Structure 1
């Protein structure tokens, strides 16, 4: 190493020392890296680019197994000066180095002991002992900073005040790093509404907390496999996803489950054995012109309550005549407001997120201790008579958003008044609840499925009036599902053959479906077995069928308050 770079001096065939040749600009090999299992070894490199900016890269030694093109490409991409023809010597220099220092590496962002790791920086008192090391070169994380924290606070956060969707989204960006500390489930929020109503602007404003809005934001236009890698890169963090319709309905449903469940698919290695699973915890903010449920329905795909809980749909329109906004803060129009925000977030971004991570790493234990009580209080405020685990799950997510927004405000990151983030979270949660309902959403789906089947397949039920015999000579209807008859003032009663119940509740587990039908009085007759248990199907004698079991359904007498 010399003042202007790294030099190599070879020897001639006769063993004489040849003149030194410069192989690259200054390149330091600072340490060896390895994970806690003494695997995934690498080296930590440092250099300056042509503008004298410092770059650090934890390079996996695994990249040396090929022709090293990925290594050289990454060094060149980040501004290391490598003269023509000297690429192999640079790789040889790296491989032959023997630094004494050891650093723990990880390929996952987020919390590691008491530090918080991003691809660009490590936050916390033990920051020098950890480094992010990706198994591939050229990782595009989206974390970056520009402008100043004061500039972001005065030109972005300031105009979020009084706008529930905007405050909620920015608070959600902060809240992603608290999911693990709170020990709650990963999940998302989806703003649905018409085109050009400001959904993407709000999403970009939230993305500006941690990086350039155009690069930190992701889109649904990717395979599920690619989004697994993106989710891992946003572990213990916030993932903004724009425009639901950029993936197919089938993929959209799978992506929501995958992101919320926090684990990728089990896959085989090239030479046998299972690959290590990627895992993550995060909050994700999504946008689209329609909700996930409506998108699946448009393709004839059954949706489930689990999807609606994992991705809570909130109408983008705030109801004040300003699309997604409620307060224009003196701007002449919604368009002027959006134009200002787009300019401001590109000029000032990432600084709030960096300050936030510095804050929460220093107060990690206190935050962890306080979160359960704060979450419980918020849930009690918005669900005083809660009897739905589904609403409780979304309420806890909204609580974490409120808490994060208030904590960021307390530490001077937003400039908002105390209570602003809480009010926004409560407003958005109640707008979700008004659409979702307070009962068990899965029950409602089952009831809707049963009603729709009967309405759609009336010709598959044979008339069998009470007191009227079904003679042996009667012609059975084609593809018979059961029978119908009048049941006095309670209207029409349906006798579903037990062998056909799976068709009637298609898409749902039969036991779960029958339990829901019983709970809401859709099953009008039951019997008790020899053990004293209530049985939902009743044994009846039918001509041509003999002794058989049927489910007695009466939709008119049912309790539909779910």
Structure 2
């Protein structure tokens, strides 16, 4: 019996790299290995294709028609110049570079102004992205970049968020179109990273936020950023107030997980005002979480709150003494701390400004059923906190992008404004200042309700609206109605009387001057069932620190606190004969009216 024939061996040969025939002298760039006209193998990279010099070149042109020897100089790893760029922020030019590295392909928009020097900044950036450059060819790489003339031109921006073209720009993608690219201004962390799955975030994080107004508000606050410019609401924020370890930071962490890695996306109050502007601009149209207000400079905290809400940085100069473009942003902020904004400002010796407090509204995140929480879903507070913290650290960065995709797909400005008006009508306000706060809670509610309607939040319809209304009512009950500056003035005077009523005032009807009173703020007058305080001008201005006399008197008149005055209705003072002789016009204040109308700020 014959043996079966052995199977024929099949030789596996690798295909030869393609052959290139450049029109020498010229530049060439190849993503993979190639071979030149003579069959020599060239590794991937940027090349200068030329000829080697020969003795004939030095003496005369070769007469025998022999071919000149080829020369292929490797300059760098593959760097393709794909397109010209124009930055819509400042009209500066650039080039879109595509790099092929050991870590994969990378893109970088190179400002053309970086070619104005030695090129060191460009090489540093390329090295950081994984490019390789021949040590003796670094100058040639700059020549290569300058010589390229790509036909395509694309628009870029260094500002994330909504672009004038209608797309939403993020560092790693553009939502709603491909016509605009993000141009990084430097080596910065990827704020808008994503990890895990949206479905897991919905079931492990969002579902457990249900029943917790502070947590649903944090999610709505994160989603409200893209709506602000659409419905005409200014930026601002909410300030979560509660004792240490009450759960405030968890709310901020959940809000941050809407857009990116909570550990990276969140920021701290511990920075300069210029640093705060950079952090805000990098999160334009999204959210800025700021942890622990105790780390902030108490002397500048209110100024920083104004800047965040107003959305415009301070103008600066370049080294050439030219004006540098101001940073701009529009967003909502979630701040946290054990003290309110005004209490922290007072530590630095600054009087509280109602405008700053309105821009960063206090929210109770410390005395709810479970401190910052109202429902821990069958767990104890510590287990609830840990479960959400772990889940938000494993699944993040999906909801914000998905929300913007839905907005763009179904966006209709008129319908959006109608929806906002319907929601806003359910937040009653009796003053322009309360109306500003109501606007903020209304846009937070609208964002949450839209996300519910889009199927992005596993909450019943009306959840975000109900919870936002609850927090808004709590704020109204805490601060009272009417003008915030009026309340602040009246509260300041009431506090001044409480602190100095026995040391800086004395009986106006005494026969002699009270020698124990130093730095006199005024007098008192005893009447049946009440004591009136008679302030001199300097004492009144000191008591209502931060306000001018005319504004103080306006608040006193509005509250009916001035108990007496002379017959002339234009006067706000009453003339008194003073102990020891002499007369003075004094502001007569009834402290009971201060307590009834001023309350506590």
Normalised by the shorter chain, which TM-score bucket? 0.7 to 0.9
CA distance in 1, matches of 2:296, 2:137: 44
**Offset from partner CA, 1:142-182 (integer Å, 9 cap, x none):** 01122232232223222222222222111211111111111
Q: Aligned to 2:99, which of 30, 47, 62?
A: 47
SS at match of 2:435: helix
Q: Aligned to 2:150, which of 81, 93, 99?
A: 99
- Within-5 A mapping of 1:169-248: 169-248=218-297
Deviation at 1:209, TM superposition (A): 1.2
Residue 78 of structure 2 is matched in structure 1 by: 26
Q: Aligned to 1:485, which of 525, 538, 542?
A: 525
CA distance in 2, matches of 1:499, 1:436: 28
- Within-5 A mapping of 1:58-457: 58-82=109-133, 86-113=137-164, 114-124=166-176, 127-134=177-184, 136-317=185-366, 319-321=368-370, 323-330=371-378, 332-364=379-411, 366=412, 368-383=413-428, 386-457=429-500
Q: Aligned to 1:461, which of 505, 517, 527?
A: 505
CA gap of 1:551–1:328, structure 2 versus 1, over 3 A, is closer
CA distance in 2, matches of 1:213, 1:37: 29
CA distance in 2, matches of 1:102, 1:37: 16
**Offset from partner CA, 1:178-203 (integer Å, 9 cap, x none):** 11111112111121222223222221
CA distance in 2, matches of 1:80, 1:129: 27
**Offset from partner CA, 1:335-391 (integer Å, 9 cap, x none):** 333333233223322122221122222333x2x3234444444344342xx323232
Which shifted more, 340-349 or 451-460? Answer: 451-460
**Offset from partner CA, 1:423-475 (integer Å, 9 cap, x none):** 2222222333333333333222211222333344444435322xx8x78x998
Residue 562 of structure 2 is matched in structure 1 by: 523
Q: TM-score, normalised by structure 2?
A: 0.82
Q: Aligned to 1:509, which of 548, 563, 567?
A: 548
Size of the aligned set, in residue pairs, is 544
**Offset from partner CA, 1:31-59 (integer Å, 9 cap, x none):** 2222347732211222344343x432222
CA gap of 1:13–1:19, structure 2 versus 1, over 3 A, is closer
CA distance in 2, matches of 1:548, 1:18: 103
CA gap of 1:344–1:389, structure 2 versus 1, over 3 A, is same
Q: Which runs of 5+ in 2 are unaligned?
A: 1-28, 33-43, 58-67
Q: Does the CA-based 8 Å contact 2:258-2:397 persist in structure 1?
A: yes
Deviation at 1:311, TM superposition (A): 1.0
Q: Does the CA-based 8 Å contact 1:521-1:559 persist in structure 2?
A: no
CA gap of 1:21–1:151, structure 2 versus 1, over 3 A, is farther
CA distance in 2, matches of 1:101, 1:452: 68
CA distance in 1, matches of 2:277, 2:139: 34
CA distance in 1, matches of 2:393, 2:100: 25
Residue 550 of structure 1 is matched in structure 2 by: 586
CA distance in 1, matches of 2:498, 2:212: 44
CA distance in 1, matches of 2:344, 2:475: 17
Q: Which runs of 5+ in 1 are unaligned?
A: none
SS at match of 2:168: strand
Aligned-residue Cα RMSD (Å) equals: 3.0
**Offset from partner CA, 1:70-109 (integer Å, 9 cap, x none):** 3333333333344555554444432332222222222222
Q: Does the CA-based 8 Å contact 1:406-1:421 persist in structure 2?
A: yes
Q: Does the CA-based 8 Å contact 1:72-1:91 persist in structure 2?
A: no
CA distance in 1, matches of 2:377, 2:140: 60
Q: TM-score, normalised by structure 1?
A: 0.87
Report the structure number with the largest CA radius of gyration. Answer: 2
